[in-house]
Amino acid sequence: MALTSEQRAGVLAVLDPPRPLAETRAALGALRVDPADPALADLLSERGFTADARVSLVERDYPALVALPPGYTDTPAERSRLIAHLWRAGMPGVQVERIYLDATGVLTAVVTPHSDPRPAVQTWQLDAGIRPTAGPQVAAHADRQHLTMVDWDPYAHTATVAAVAPAVRQLRDRIAAHLHCDPWAVEIQPRWTVDAETGEGRLDSVEVLRHPAFQTAEKRISAFTEAISILPGGSSGWKVEDDPQSGRVTLRHGAPIVVPQRVPLEVMPQVLDPARQWQLPIGLDGRGDPVAWDLRDTPHLGVVGGTGSGKTISLWAVISAALVRGFELAIVETSKTGQDFEALRPYVRNGFWGCDSKMHACQVIESVYALREGRLPAIRSARDGDDKPRSMADLSRAEQERIGVRPLLLVVDEASALFTEPVIPRALDKDHPRRVAAEEEATAVALAGDSVRRIAAELRAAGIHLVFATQRFTAELLKAAGGNSLKVNLGARLALGTMSKLDAGLAFQNPERGEAAYALAHGVSPTDGDEGLQKRPGRAVFETPTRTRPMQTVFAPEMEWIRRLEAAGVPRPGGASPTLDGDGAIASPSGDGVTIQRDLDLGDWDLDDPETDSGEDWG
């Protein structure tokens, strides 16, 4: 039954401003309007009342009116205290929908379990000649009427205004300022709650219903992650929930991130659980969640960490996790001739212990690269028919054993020591043994650097995975080891210990995200010095293309790792060094080793002058 014009006017007068439910029902009765009449529901919907508000006229005692104390100012902090008071006063779960002065001048809150983001909404039809730049003037006009402009469409000549509560408006304006957009380009629906432990009110979530468009989802998530810091109570523990279909983003409360001081192996048994072959757990993040290097997503890992950072023991964790998952192992480390990994030597594939000298190291790298010739055909022939595997990751452990090819982890530690170009004693005759040896070493290092680049770029499908570790990433180091190509292919990064802003810029793929995670890990941003910072071995930032997390790497004494490897029955091939001869051949008794016969065209590279190297910088 349709409402008469008098009834429509009377209903609107009854509902605005809101009043207690019993009074509202009585007034509707005087107008001879049934609260359950569909015509009333249509009118309420037309005027922007939510479904919950419409139902409350019939079934609930909400919305309720609460007189606020004199001097109350609706800020986000005061709103938290108000919500705690309301919940304790017998109205648990309610939210404040709007605040207004009643006819007697009392500041009054309209409370309801489900607040409307656009209370008392109105659509203004504007003059046809309104300019697109007139938004601030229209918003100011709404302000003078104690309303807030929530949407602005100058081309349709309309402005949408609502009685948005001050606390909500303040949050909206903060987010809009952070996003560098007009306030009416952002629409939010915050929700407050009462903390179960403290009994205090707090902001629980902010649903961003509308916001300016972003070029990519990653940029959208990054922008709102940064916006958390401007919210009252916002902390590292808050999460960003992104719904790309609806375009809505929710910022949700979470306990602050606290990176654990220590992660003993006992609390991370999954490190040595061989069930997931391509995931190597390496520690815990600030939420207590495991951090794992997923080799299917990022097949190669860059590790950076200075003295005392825990780099070596973190490498032990990575190596041990790989060994129990059926990986073969090759180690290259010439700075201390492999002393840090001596106990692991029996687990290294014969011919792949590259720690005795630079020449041994270069031979091992060359040998690893040469494995491609036999491995890829074997992998692709592991199955018949249309289901042929394209890479090692497509094979089960049983199939790997059947064809006699297992994944291999190549660890290059202290890379800067290996790839520092040797000085050629040019004052000596060209045939002098010392000059000849220096030139041969320089050529071997150049070949090895080229092979590292090729391994990272080409051998993922062959099941060969690189860990490239150094104390600092520098442009000179990366030039010698493949330049920008290596940079791109080290898709996962583990940055241990403290570092300068410059070093952070070189270590991370996304320096901005990396520095933010570094601040959570260490309590300060990267600086030009680490004076006064506590050394926390194993404190790190783990970065992939999609996520950057502060973390603590898992720890166990070296002999505890060895004991666990022995208990797991990990094979011990022996760890023989490569055999050097004049032709650069490697004697490898463990299966698919081959003789290295590859030349590198050095072009115009003067072995005495590193400045003529045309490789690309890391930066």
pLDDT digits (tens, 9 = 90+) for 172-193: 999 999 999 999 999 999 999 9
Whether the pLDDT of residue 477 is over 80: the answer is no
- Residue 297: predicted pLDDT: 93
Choose between 92 and 131: higher pLDDT: 131
What is the rounded distance in angstroms from the CA atom of residue 352 to the CA atom of residue 594?
A: 12
Mean pLDDT score, 418-447? 88
**Average pLDDT along the chain:** 86
In 10 A of CB 567, how many CB atoms? 10
Whether the pLDDT of residue 497 is over 80: the answer is yes
pLDDT-derived band at 542 (thresholds 50, 70, 90) equals very high
Instruction: Note whether 332 and 366 are within 8 A (CB).
Output: no
Flag the least confident range among 270-274, 278-282, 520-524: 520-524
Q: What is the pTM of this model?
A: 0.66
Peptide bond into 63 cis (omega under 30): yes
In 10 A of CB 247, how many CB atoms? 14
Choose between 235 and 590: higher pLDDT: 235
- Residue 520: predicted pLDDT: 84
pLDDT-derived band at 31 (thresholds 50, 70, 90) equals confident
Whether the pLDDT of residue 612 is over 60: the answer is no
Dump pLDDT digits (tens) for 389-408: 989 999 999 999 999 999 99
pLDDT-derived band at 602 (thresholds 50, 70, 90) equals very low
Dump pLDDT digits (tens) for 190-227: 999 999 889 999 999 999 999 999 988 888 988 898 88
- Residue 166: predicted pLDDT: 97
Whether the pLDDT of residue 608 is over 60: the answer is no
CATH class entry, domain 296-576: alpha beta
Whether the pLDDT of residue 589 is over 50: the answer is no
Q: What are phi and psi of 543, to 5 degrees?
A: -125, 135
Instruction: Note whether 147 and 58 are within 8 A (CB).
Output: no
β-bridge pairing 548-555 and 239-243: unpaired
Rounded to the nearest 10 degrees, the angle between the axes of helix 311-324 and helix 558-567 is 0
In the chain, what are the domain boundaries? 1-61, 296-576
250 contact partners, CB below 8 Å, separation of at least 6? 205, 206, 207, 208, 240, 241, 243
Count helices and strands in the chain by DSSP H and E runs: 19, 21
Query: 616: closest CA among 481, 516, 509?
Result: 481
What percentage of the chain reaches a pLDDT higher than 90? Answer: 56
HEC profile for 49-111? CCHHHHHHHHHCCCCEEEECCCCCCCCHHHHHHHHHHHHHCCCCCCEEEEEEECCCCCEEEEE
Dump pLDDT digits (tens) for 101-124: 988 999 999 999 888 999 999 999
